[in-house]
Structure 1
Amino acid sequence: MNKFYIFLFYFVLSFFSCMGFFYKLTPNQKNDFFLLNDVKRTYLVHYPKNWNGLPIPMLVALHGRFGTGISMMKQTKLNELADAKGFIVIFPDGYKRSWADGRGSSPADENSINDVVFIESIVKRMVAEGSVNPSSVFLVGHSNGGFMAQRLAVEKPELWKGVMSVAAQLSVFLLKSKHKYKTIPVSMGIMAGTADPLVPYSGGYVRDGKEILSVTDSILRWKEWSGCNDSVQKNTKEFQEENDVIKIDFERFDSCEENKVVELIRLNGLGHSWPGETPMIPFINQGKTTKVIDGSMLVWEFMESIK
């Protein structure tokens, strides 16, 4: 990377940092924080408009590498979906724009940050506040946040009614560490683009991390861990985008232990970006993007489908 692109990279990061710094909270939002091992960890809470104060579902949304809670909100518009559907959404901030997903190369991993405890603490605080139905807590993550979401599903499965990983699959680190944790079935979804240039659909190595499984192998592992049988429901949806047709394949295992489900949402021909978003770091090749698919709605439809 030459000096111009290095400058441009940090300029873009600084720009979006300023966007977050100057973001004005709405009346139904608040910032909060924890001090964990003398490190201040921050997060934004978005309560749905017209909420009556009774316990409701909650979704925790983890941004990707170089993101923030506010950038995740702007990318996904999950706050707007929360208003429409009536759930709370939490946008945490990673340590130095990263999560300790276990692969070893993020600032959070390198500094031994305990993001499992951080996210668990947010959930427990919100439940104790009386805002959240503890049996309806969901988790979604994108990219580095998707790897982190799967780590949380392995290490703290009891917290989640459903988990979705977008543009991320199982890491070899997580596969090797799974035996340390009790096996509790988890409803897990993976949404992935088949032409992702950053996190290869077929597995291998990621630029900012270690070895990962393929999406197919990751789904089969979650199927095994959640005690699903081989019965799979398949469906395909087509979306027209100018002169192109984008196909999404759904493969769902819904005969699992404790009424759990495991689902693959295959985004044929698409890349690394959250479906429907405008990439926020445009000079990094993230593959084909689309405006005709609402990734946030796909996430929430998966969550709502869980019994």
Structure 2
Amino acid sequence: MGALGHPHAPQWPLACGLLLLAAGCWCGPPMEVLHVDGQDRRYLLDVPPDLAAPAPLLLVLHGGGPDGPAMARRYTGFSELGAAEGFVTAYPEALFDNWNDGREGPKLRANAEGVDDVAFLTALVDHLLETEDIDPSRIYVVGISNGGFMTERLACSPLSARLAAVVPVIATMAETLLAECAPAAPLPIALVAGDEDPLVPFTGGPMMDGDRGVIASFDDTVALWRDHNGCTGEPEVELVDEVDDGTRVRIETWTGCAAETKSLVVEGGGHTWPGGRATFDFLVGRTSQEIEMAEVAWGFLSRFWR
């Protein structure tokens, strides 16, 4: 059934409760399958009940690692926000636990095997437009880490003509993509990074000694989008520093742009989701509590139509 009110809620809650009791794990609605380029590709879909139609669609691209859609669903809070704000959330799944975001390296199997994730995500958008009551002028993407790099690749692809706005988080861009990036039109974008990220170097260069490719610096990535969006003026600057957690957020909104262009630098922040639960800080750096990332991202995205 294709309407927003269709039953996307089979009897998984009871099964999940039993699994949680038995194994202490998390699970959610079952993965859905879309056949693309001879492969079965999977995604989670959250369609809130009683949703006004047509509704916005948010694609949330997970970071690298297993159980990516479930982790992103649990960690970001977008499904709960979608229920409150009235949007559909899709969590697509990468093959081999990583998106082919354009980086090249021995640890990047999706790239080595030529996985076309742009084609998959384009097909997913087409599929959801056919099966759900989605507003085609309000399609958004948020990506985290590897998913943030993939968001940048989408923003440089022909699909960008259909995206209303994007937010890549704790990511920059594959260095090779800097010269190749060709958005179809100016695109609203808010770029987010921690300047003490131990995994994605803020100043660019090799990731993990080159095993995970070479990336552009955050400043060079922002400069690319300033150029593509035709920004001619200096930025308006806002500092958010209300919580004593060793971080503050510097928000720059560039002026004279054909499409809104923002950068949010979490000063003192690591490879973490701002506003999320602080875990393994000794490995990934500080988690800022200065902003709630999901709310900030949706507050930005929701102002734009294509």
User: With structure 2 as the length reference, what TM-score do the two structures score?
Assistant: 0.84
- Which residue number in structure 2 is paired with residue 123 of structure 1? 125
- Which residue number in structure 2 is paired with residue 278 of structure 1? 277
* 1-structure distance, mates of 2:35, 2:145: 26
**Which AA in structure 1 matches 2:167?**
M
1:46 is displaced (CA, Å) by: 0.6
* 2-structure distance, mates of 1:125, 1:19: 34
1:62 touches 1:142 (CA, 8 Å); kept in 2? yes
Q: Deviations over 1:176-212 (max 9, x none)?
A: 322xx46421111111111100011111121242222
1:238 touches 1:245 (CA, 8 Å); kept in 2? no
SS of 1:240's equivalent in the other structure is coil
Q: Which runs of 5+ in 2 are unaligned?
A: 1-19
1:192 touches 1:266 (CA, 8 Å); kept in 2? yes
User: Out of 198, 219, 229, which is 2:232 matched to?
Assistant: 229
User: Out of 291, 295, 299, which is 1:297 matched to?
Assistant: 295
> Which structure 2 residues correspond to residues 1-307 of structure 1 after superposition, within 5 A?
23-25=27-29, 31-52=31-52, 54-67=53-66, 68-105=68-105, 106-155=108-157, 156-178=159-181, 181=182, 183-207=184-208, 208-241=211-244, 244=245, 246-257=247-258, 260-278=259-277, 282=280, 285-291=283-289, 293-306=291-304
2:103 touches 2:215 (CA, 8 Å); kept in 1? no
1:171 touches 1:213 (CA, 8 Å); kept in 2? yes
Identity rate, percent: 27
- Which residue number in structure 2 is paired with residue 6 of structure 1? none
**Which AA in structure 1 matches 2:117?**
D
SS of 1:285's equivalent in the other structure is helix
2:240 touches 2:249 (CA, 8 Å); kept in 1? yes
SS of 2:219's equivalent in the other structure is helix
1:239 touches 1:246 (CA, 8 Å); kept in 2? no
* 2-structure distance, mates of 1:75, 1:24: 13
Q: CA RMSD in A?
A: 2.2
Q: Which runs of 5+ in 1 are unaligned?
A: 1-14
1:74 is displaced (CA, Å) by: 0.8
User: With structure 1 as the length reference, what TM-score do the two structures score?
Assistant: 0.84
**Change in CA separation of 1:190 and 1:182 when aligned onto 2, cut-off 3 Å:** closer
**Which AA in structure 2 matches 1:125?**
H
1:306 is displaced (CA, Å) by: 3.5
* 2-structure distance, mates of 1:277, 1:240: 14
